[in-house]
Amino acid sequence: MSGNITVEKTIPLEGTKNGVISILKIEEPYGSDSGTVASIGISLSGDAENPEWKVHIPMGNLDEVIEALQVLKNR
């Protein structure tokens, strides 16, 4: 992974002693001219920079993903 990485927020992972959810903005994650993504990572060990699981969401899909998560939250 390349490009500028900005850590937006680190959230304690409920149900764990040290786990965290990390929210990052990554510019050009797959090299020059690749689109900026929101990266959501889960680390059980608390290492926000090296999560065991992660997902990259293109910024163009972010509003729709947030909307779907809000619907899920309110069920």
- What pLDDT, on the 0 to 100 scale, is given for residue 1? 58
Evaluate whether 26 touches 5 at the Cβ level (below 8 Å).
Answer: yes
Cβ distance 30 to 49 under 8 Å?
A: no
Domain boundaries, the chain: 5-73
Residue scoring higher pLDDT (61 or 7): 61
Is 37's pLDDT higher than 70? yes
The pLDDT value recorded for residue 15 is 97
13 or 1, which is more confident: 13
Helix, strand or coil for residue 21?
strand
Residue 49 is predicted with a pLDDT of: 84
